Structure 1
């Protein structure tokens, strides 16, 4: 490799003409150079030396000053250097190698001039590597003594090769000068160092490159804050901000990105205002935040806003446009024994935040340090919870039937006929549920059509396939091949973001496909345990202006990305497509789910969107603007991360569209057990979203009254309705008890009969609309729809209500285990 010329601040190279002004020249040379005016340097004039009255070229140079420590092995070179420095007005002391610390303690110098021993006799192959590194050892000795880091250090070298000079400068020298230089030049260089004392960056209060507190000074500031009396401190938080992509960026762009990333993060914090009192950084590129005088909730909200802003911004780092995922760890100052431990704990929380990449600030907890808990007893709840979960069907009947029946009895004994009032509440609830279903069906007939033309030219697009490979191994290759057949008029990249606990043979097949077609990008996500983590890892890697999110069993229609851009380019931020079951022939369960998906995606979603003014993202076959997805992310702690992300995006004012003609085909569960696990996860996830977002949404100024009504129906009524329908049983028992037996009940109450008829009619109406709006290949399967009508009316509706009630109990017990839906290659429904 051709050697690159490295510019350094050194004197010119020695030459025969320059040898007359050498720093360490002999007496004769000094006389001929005009240094005879300094007898202490040059010795007595030679008898034959010609006299000259011409002024010395540096006669007008200012005299030096200050105390200089000369470091070097005693001998003629040190003596001559000492005489040179004294001749220019410096006070000089001497220390041999190994005695620098002792001399500095006795008489602290203003500067150090050290002789580089390497090369003083010219090249010598017999010299040992230890001799060759003598100059670096001197630098290290000076820099490691107390106070030595801030001393100006000038190296005088006999053989100024560029490589040797570079090594000395990089290892702590402030300047290098050849022995052949003019003495006055050496003096001027020392004076320059004394006027502008070189201080290591970490010793400065503020880093001159970033404008932030250096790590040691930030620790000093933090320790001062911690030493304040608690009465005057009033809360406060310490936070550390890392970046999930820092390793990849550094591998590609070099270590400079650490400083630049910290600068970019600090710039965002400064733009957001004064929520942070002091900002610093460390050598790993972490941004350090000290937030005194704030309570935990205020700090968490400020840090969340900071994270969202960073994630939604494109930065230029090392001349490259990148998107960053901030990972924030924090803890209250009250839990910090000292600054060093506080930052270490916050960095542990950063690692947990990086694992999820969901932008949520992570509060430090002791388990993040991985400390063993010896002799720790298992909490009582962990012992009782499995037993309660196993008895959940009994608990459901006890809570939903037994407790209300006793309540109705007791209130009746007290003179309150609560049971009769609840009878009318239940009837009204059943009628309301049926009415809402019919309204959704009617509104679905006239749903908003897709714009015929795109509002802007087709941009680069990306597809993200989230996969758990052990479960998807049988189908993933077919899925990838189907994506590579998509028809899109611009660049389309397919990112397969997957996690797997161990290497699989299918990975080699995927690598072969990626080598054949560069559109496929394989992204294994180390440490991931959820679909949300896979999507979050992919969102900063994608290059497209919009992103389609898919599960690993989906085969989108060839024009899916074209059609999605028609919506996104005309003012929408997210569009949800129509998920169609492609393995309906596999089992009776698959047939049932195939028709149910038509009722959901062809009827309910479009009808609800038009009725209430907002749509939802269903987890797959959804298309997001990349900037919005980067700000929103997916929260892996939510069992339905798709609905949670929908509510958070809607609360920002995002517009969601639903398009039943935007088709992607997927696999349905084929067994009742798999269906139970899938729907249990969905039901519990919806409950989590309701608990988190319902009250917040009803109070939000972003939503209209119509949207708030839809939110109450979607998040509130859906959780009440399963328990309300169960009240039929305790009300019947109560009525029979009060009447003296079932045979004495009047079953022909007109309004009750009408309510039952209307409620029962909702099922056939929904099945009819599902058949009318279904995709062609399923509409031809009319027997499937008749079967769905009967099964749904007499079994499946009760099945889903039972699943919802079980999910409520699981959430109350803290059982949030994710059970994956098994996938297998299956016979597809013929498409026509």
Structure 2
């Protein structure tokens, strides 16, 4: 019994320190920094890259939004990779004004492989571009997206994540859960770390990479979460990622629980793959670079193990109770402490993010009430990913055909 008490206390301290660390960093999101000075004053040449698999319903709207950027048209080329398509994606993209490349590979089907295939060609061509921006086909880019990314380049930043907003936050409780998750992460994770001089992470779409960063090794991701993997590669090499709140892209979220489960399972499995491949690199980076940025990246990968450790604490408490080392009331209070954090603190944090970002709360009430269920299901997803990871890539259907002017109205 004594060993169980020691283990319980040790785990409690580890988990407490982990969350105090993250809480302390999140407070840095309240700081408003001065804009960085420009290192150069130049309009760079960009390529917008859109990997698309059977996206005829939405890809045209994204291309249209990119054609209407407040940026010189001759300095932006729009490429759509029609990846293993069996529908009219290529035709729709061409009609909207994109340069379309068709790719067919029955084995290598993920977005990461499509990017690898495309960028290998551009590197071999020694294509005349300064930077690239990557989008998902269901996105809508706001008119100043490229202009604001160009500003980041002029400030000396090389890899920058834009602000990923939500097309359909109030469609269902699932889309509302995604919206609250992203808005909270943008505010308390990415912005906070950027303000503190740490590194935010790429989150799938709407990000910019200086072409010189890609040229030496190409795009060689191998996990289901190529965005996180690419982020961790850069962090382990000592490169800090940037954050651009005013480079806004809108993204569609799954409507139903089944699709959401599939998507989030892919993310969780990808997280574990990243831990497998890059935990040592990040640990080595901590030793070599001796910066908080590398340590912070390492802690990100340890987030899922910390969750498992937290759940193990519940089992340890039960074992102590069954061994008559704890009263029923003490067991109940301990359980409420952990469950309360998940089911009470997280919705309050989301509401705080809404207030700070000056977003209306009333339309999101359903999402706020269901947010604990959304995050609770993610705990089950993480457990399943640990026990039986599924590395098969499954497409998420996109059906929300929304144009840029409909979002801004």
Cα contact 1:576–1:623 (8 A) shared by 2:
yes
| Aligned residue runs from structure 1 range 425-574, under 5 A | 425-446=10-31, 448=33, 450-451=35-36, 455-468=40-53, 470=54, 472-489=55-72, 491-502=75-86, 504-514=87-97, 520-527=98-105, 529-539=109-119, 540-541=121-122, 543-574=128-159
Distance 1:663 1:480 in 2: 15
Shift of 1:454: 6.9
Structure-1 residue corresponding to 2:350: 767
Q: Which runs of 5+ in 2 are unaligned?
A: none
Distance 1:768 1:735 in 2: 36
Cα contact 1:578–1:663 (8 A) shared by 2:
yes
Shift of 1:763: 1.9
| Aligned residue runs from structure 1 range 21-420, under 5 A | 412=1, 417-420=2-5
Cα contact 2:173–2:370 (8 A) shared by 1:
no
Distance 1:449 1:661 in 2: 14
Distance 1:447 1:650 in 2: 24
Distance 1:432 1:696 in 2: 23
1:706 to 287, 292, 296: 292
**Against the structure 1 CA distance between its residues 657 and 449, is the aligned structure 2 distance closer, same or farther, given a 3 Å change threshold?**
farther
Shift of 1:685: 0.7
Shift of 1:820: 1.8
Distance 1:721 1:444 in 2: 23
Q: Which runs of 5+ in 1 are unaligned?
A: 1-411, 515-519
The structure whose Rg is larger is: 1
**Against the structure 1 CA distance between its residues 536 and 513, is the aligned structure 2 distance closer, same or farther, given a 3 Å change threshold?**
same
Greater relative CO (CA pairs within 8 A, separation 6+): 2
Secondary structure, counterpart of 2:104 in structure 1: coil
**Against the structure 1 CA distance between its residues 665 and 773, is the aligned structure 2 distance closer, same or farther, given a 3 Å change threshold?**
farther
Shift of 1:501: 4.7
Secondary structure, counterpart of 1:659 in structure 2: strand
Structure-2-length-normalised TM-score: 0.87
Structure-1-length-normalised TM-score: 0.44
Structure-2 residue corresponding to 1:586: 171
**Size of the alignment, in residue pairs?**
398
Secondary structure, counterpart of 2:81 in structure 1: strand
Cα contact 2:52–2:89 (8 A) shared by 1:
no
Shift of 1:739: 1.5
Distance 2:391 2:37 in 1: 44
**Which one has the bigger helix percentage?**
2
Shift of 1:699: 1.7
Cα contact 1:612–1:709 (8 A) shared by 2:
no
Distance 1:791 1:436 in 2: 27
Does residue 810 of structure 1 match 2:393?
no
**Against the structure 1 CA distance between its residues 617 and 497, is the aligned structure 2 distance closer, same or farther, given a 3 Å change threshold?**
same
2:311 to 719, 726, 729: 726
Shift of 1:620: 0.9
Structure-2 residue corresponding to 1:61: none
Cα contact 1:640–1:682 (8 A) shared by 2:
yes
Shift of 1:532: 1.5
Secondary structure, counterpart of 1:464 in structure 2: strand
Distance 1:530 1:625 in 2: 22
| Aligned residue runs from structure 1 range 647-726, under 5 A | 647-700=232-285, 702-716=288-302, 718-726=303-311
**Against the structure 1 CA distance between its residues 827 and 426, is the aligned structure 2 distance closer, same or farther, given a 3 Å change threshold?**
farther
Q: RMSD between aligned alpha carbons?
A: 2.9
Distance 1:723 1:639 in 2: 21
